[in-house]
Amino acid sequence: MSLQPEITPIDFANTPGLERYADFYATILDDVFTPEECRSLLALVTASAPWTPAALSAQDPTGQTVHKEFRNSERIIYIDEEAAKRVYERLKPLVQGEIGRIEVGGRWDGVTGKKGRKQGPSWELACVNPRLSFLRYGPGHYFKQHCDGLNELPREEGTVLKSFVTLHLYLNSCEDELLADDHHGHSPESKLSPDDPDEPLIGGATRFWTADKKHYLDVMPRAGRVLVFQQRMLIHSGEEVLQGVKYTMRSDFMFEQVD
């Protein structure tokens, strides 16, 4: 299957109620991975470890705690340098023009610090964090409003890579996206495991919120779609799954300081 990825920047400036995010980076990359690649990746990961309740405080694995009233889902942490490299090589050409190098005064300098500051380091895109978090949301599962934390990755030479941007790879499609794909002649499969219920996925949007929770914008799960967005101050949630099972893989784009 020949892939022809589509890039759709999220236009917060022209989204009613979300204009305050006008200078925030977020984009949707469609048809980056095939449904077959998504199924193969999930099969590899589920063979490596059982699903466990998703916890908070991911920066310190020894201190993680489960708070199902805030985050109710399951996950498998899969650390794999080669898998992360393959994901990075697929995504880098699609994001390089926007976040390949982030400098003070540039279009997306708010990704790495306060917008409008006069000085500070430049950052270059370096890799995808090899810590790949695979998530499973069943009926009633959700992740309430939050901003993603910034992670660090020490290097052998003593420097540290920092994350400023999240990536979410959706591994299956919700019902609305299945209908849209069928209309365009595609035939994705939403059921990725024989243990899953037969019901199609309904719900499970990634939702960007205003701080007052009065306005929002939804990005729906679609197999092979990657949602990329800045971690600083961008409030979002994983909306409740109403039916079926939602699978995603989450990781970080890591950056190195270059001056």
Does residue 247 form part of some domain?
A: yes
pLDDT above 90 (res 199): no
Q: How many CB atoms lie under 10 A from the CB of residue 250?
A: 19
Q: Which of 38-42, 66-70, 158-162, 201-205 has the lowest mean pLDDT?
A: 66-70
Tens of pLDDT, residues 74-129? 999 999 999 999 999 999 999 999 999 999 999 999 999 999 899 999 999 999 99
The CA angle 157-162-163, to the nearest 5 degrees, is 145
pLDDT of residue 160: 95
User: Is residue 212 assigned to a domain?
Assistant: yes
How many angstroms separate the Cα of 52 from the Cα of each of 60, 73, 137?
A: 17, 8, 12
Residue 120 lies in a domain: yes
Q: If we measure between CA atoms, which residue out of 226, 230, 207, 234 comes closest to residue 218? A: 207
* Residue 124 maps to a domain: yes
pTM: 0.89
- The count of structural domains within the chain is 1
CB–CB of 227/141 below 8 Å? Answer: no
Output the domain CATH number for residue 193.
2.60.120.620
Residue 129 is assigned to a structural domain of this protein: yes
Distance, CA of 219 to CA of 170 (rounded, Å) = 11
CA distance 129 to 251: 6
Asked if residue 64 is part of any domain, the answer here is no
Alpha-carbon gap, residue 211 to 234, rounded angstroms: 9
Buried b / exposed e along 23-50 (16+ C-beta atoms within 10 A): ebbbbbbbbbbebebbbebbeebbeeee
Instruction: Please say if the pLDDT value at position 63 is more than 60.
Output: no
Q: Is residue 66 part of a domain?
A: no
Query: Which residues span the domain enclosing 43?
Result: 6-56+75-257
Task: Specify if 199 maps to a domain.
Answer: yes
Q: How confident is the model at residue 19 (pLDDT cuts 50, 70, 90)?
A: very high
Of the candidates 230, 228, 232, the residue with the CA atom closest to the CA atom of residue 249:
228
